[in-house]
Amino acid sequence: MFQCDVPNAWDDGTEGNYWGDYKGADNNNDGIGDTSYYIPGMPSGGGNNKDRFPLMFPWDEIPLAITDVDVIPFVQKPGEPVNITCTVVCSILVDTVTASITTPSSTNEFVMSNIPGTDDYYYNTTYAEEGTYDYFIWANDTSENEVTSDVYQFIISEKDIEPPVISDVAMLTSDPLDTDPLFGWENVTCIVTDNVAVATVKLVMASDTATVEYVMVNIPETDTYYCNTTFIQCGVYNYSIWADDVSLNNATSLLVVFELPPNWDVNVDGRGHLQDFVLVAKHYN
């Protein structure tokens, strides 16, 4: 209940409150309305019956946060562009976003640009000095909340030191599996890319007794490689993809486990028969 004979303070001289029915503008984008908000049911003649600095948004409901920090490319040649990007979100209004970049010889801070209509920010520039660069993102909002990201890196180098990228590793097999090449087969595929050029891609297959490497074949005019073979010994295998580029950088994919069960197809015709079931029964007896 309002008491008209008792002064009410609706702002602290710099900031006031958020009013859901406030219709004023914020032409300088500082998060505070440009005109006063008059308190409903109270005299509008002035005094303490108005909020002189009404907020355009509610007080923070979502903490200020920096996400999706990235740099493209991770390794770049001197004089070529490096683009640092991130996403900054808050429930009020982001004020400033900066990228603090430490080169091999100095540290500098740069204001990042906002992509209009999004929460995304970027800073794009070039560097001449070779070496490893550290950077982090700092941001604040109009309520003076601030946040700092983790520290990330990128490299400026005339020499190609970026390894190939291996992705989409997959295996297709005959159905059913069979150790006889007439019926059984395993086909491993992957995608390998490089910033300069891929040199060699290998399938590395290992069992309890041996490790074998197969050179994979490139499908012309694509980044896809494949190796089709038949494993003639039953057992548990693990395989990975190894690749290098023309600058001798190399990469290895994660291991994948593959099990080839015993072959019960006695007459090797790809179908089950009575003799097959007898051997299965003896195996598990």
Indicate which CATH number applies to the domain containing 77: 2.60.40.10
User: 131-165 pLDDT, tens per residue?
Assistant: 999 999 999 998 888 999 999 999 999 888 889 99
Asked whether residue 278 is domain-assigned, the answer is no
User: pLDDT band at residue 75, thresholds of 50, 70 and 90?
Assistant: confident
Total domains in the fold of the chain: 3
User: 232-273 pLDDT, tens per residue?
Assistant: 887 889 999 999 998 899 999 999 998 887 765 555 555 556
Q: Say how many residues make up the chain.
A: 285
Asked whether residue 272 is domain-assigned, the answer is no
Domain of 106 in residue numbering reads as 65-156
Count of CA atoms in the C-beta half-sphere (13 A) of 153: 6
Q: Are residues 44 and 125 in the same domain?
A: no
Q: Are residues 49 and 72 in the same domain?
A: no
Q: Are residues 72 and 36 in the same domain?
A: no
Residue 188 · residue 197 · CB < 8 Å: no
Q: How far apart are CA 56 and CA 92, in angstroms?
A: 8
User: 23-62 pLDDT, tens per residue?
Assistant: 898 887 677 889 988 888 665 544 568 888 888 777 655 5
Residue 173 · residue 259 · CB < 8 Å: no
The last residue of one of the domains, among 112, 136, 156, is 156
Q: Are residues 29 and 86 in the same domain?
A: no
Q: How far apart are CA 157 and CA 76, in angstroms?
A: 6
The last residue of one of the domains, among 56, 82, 98, is 56
Asked whether residue 32 is domain-assigned, the answer is yes
Q: pLDDT at position 142, please?
A: 85
Asked whether residue 224 is domain-assigned, the answer is yes
Q: How far apart are CA 161 and CA 244, in angstroms?
A: 11
Residue 160 · residue 78 · CB < 8 Å: no
Structure tokens, 181: 């090449």
User: pLDDT band at residue 3, thresholds of 50, 70 and 90?
Assistant: very low
pLDDT at 213 over 70: yes
Structure tokens, 119: 């929460």
Q: Are residues 31 and 69 in the same domain?
A: no
Q: Are residues 209 and 250 in the same domain?
A: yes
Q: Are residues 97 and 52 in the same domain?
A: no
Q: How far apart are CA 193 and CA 200, in angstroms?
A: 11
Q: pLDDT at position 265, please?
A: 52
pLDDT at 6 over 70: no
User: 156-202 pLDDT, tens per residue?
Assistant: 998 888 899 999 999 998 877 777 777 788 999 999 999 889 999 99
Q: Are residues 131 and 216 in the same domain?
A: no
Using DSSP bridges, classify how beta strands 152-156 and 75-76 pair: parallel, antiparallel or unpaired: parallel
Structure tokens, 70: 């990235």
* 71 membership: H or E segment, kind and range: strand 65-72
Q: Are residues 93 and 49 in the same domain?
A: no
Q: Are residues 229 and 188 in the same domain?
A: yes
